[in-house]
Structure 1
Amino acid sequence: MPKISAPTVAEHRAAQRAALVEAGGRILVEDGMAGITARTVTERAGLARSSFYDYFPSKDDLLVAIAIDVFAAWDAEIEQALAEVEAGLPKLRALVDATMAMTADGRHDLAGALREADLHPSRYEDLMVMHDALLRPLVQVLADAGEAEPERSAMLVQGVLGAGIQLVTHGVDHRQVAADVYRVLTRGCSGRRNATRRRRAGRSRGAACRAAPRRVKPVLRMQRPGRLGPPIGGEPAGGMDLRS
């Protein structure tokens, strides 16, 4: 009978399982999906190889357990970063800053490695449900700010955040990326300042229109007082243009 190293059998099993999940996460980051086997995980955890199957019937089950831990930790840190921040654009900025800072700290590495998982369709659906749950803080930020359709807008904002995460993982400073992401979300890719400079250069209005790049509209607009306006494509309702 194996030696129980905790006050109760339940606590012992929980500790053993947690050790396997932690070991699997470290291997995933270091060696990728190919490094995950029952042998490598139990060796890293300091457990007998047979113990792997006492907790995880398959490799897929271990990967889902790792993902649950990753998503739960990410969600908790985002919630903490937003806890004392004023609703509206300040909270959106706090979310952007926290997302990029956590990525720079390596908190997104496991999530990136998990993308390589070739899971059974049923387990993949489990992962997608958890991934969708990660949108909840963003949806709440938009809803608290008065966004009419926060779920739809959250998908658009998530796309910009994902692009920012890629920049950070490729070495761009997370503070600069956070500032750029926030600017794109609230002001778009081209502000009025550039148009003013073109006019001051003496171009005619028609020439300026032909020469200027096509403006990418901001993802979010503000309505009075301090409410996020309609998503891309919606008609502004007394909105205040943040690009000024």
Structure 2
Amino acid sequence: MSTISGNAAAVAVRPVEGRSRLVWSLLDAWVVCRRNLIQTWRVPELLVFSTIQPVMFVLLFVYVFGGAINVGPGVDYVDFLMPGIFIQTAIFGSMVTGVGLAEDRQRGLIDRFRSLPMSRGALLAGRTLSDLFRNVFVVAIMLLVGIAVGFRFGDTTVPAVLVGFALMLLFSYAFAWVSAVIGLSVRNAEAAQSAGFIWVFPLTFASSAFVPVSTMPGWLQAFAEHQPITVTIDATRALFLGGPVASALLQSLAWCVGMLVVFVPWCIRVYRRSTGG
């Protein structure tokens, strides 16, 4: 709580001249982002438990199911699996945004921030940005886990790999705004967590994360091939392993832009309505 008070004081005493409103909004967002990062650093269990679940998925699918899943000639299952695990980890990490906002509102912290002379959108931008930074750390850990179990980049280039990770983080950032809408629309953090995972889980498993879409029933393939998680995994997989990437990449970028265009304004409206502002 002292950290929040200190940050609040830092915002409250700022001068009002000399910088544009946009600059102050960005600085306000950074204050909120820094507050959330400090909170995560002081509670390392948040990061530990964020990595345990994806590590368990890796071990389960590689060593239990991997021998029974055929992903095509010349492709090791672990190489097929890890891009899906990366995306899954990033998406599940973005669900923390909604849980965190619901918890802050439940504890009255959002009302405290609203009483300060700061940008109305700073809380939302700072929250999503801090969760993006946390996702970078968790995905980096998962990359090390993947390498440990045999994952290797294929016939690709360093720029392509970097584009793959950038796409992954952009996708998780777009999903964070979806999660933020959910978190601000429910009564508490427990409801936000349940409401988030109840649709993310089936959407993730009905994708190309763990098995090729071609192995699914015909009625499911039409949905699975074009949903946002599948096209993002396919684009990332092609960037990491080599292969045609343009179509999946463009579809994934379109989904990211679409989610941001829809859910950022929606989140702001829900935030103002839920806090009476």
TM class by smaller structure: 0.3 to 0.5
TM-score (norm 2): 0.29
Higher RCO, 1 or 2 (CA under 8 Å, sep at least 6)?
A: 2
Larger Rg: 1
- TM-score scaled to structure 1, two decimals? 0.32
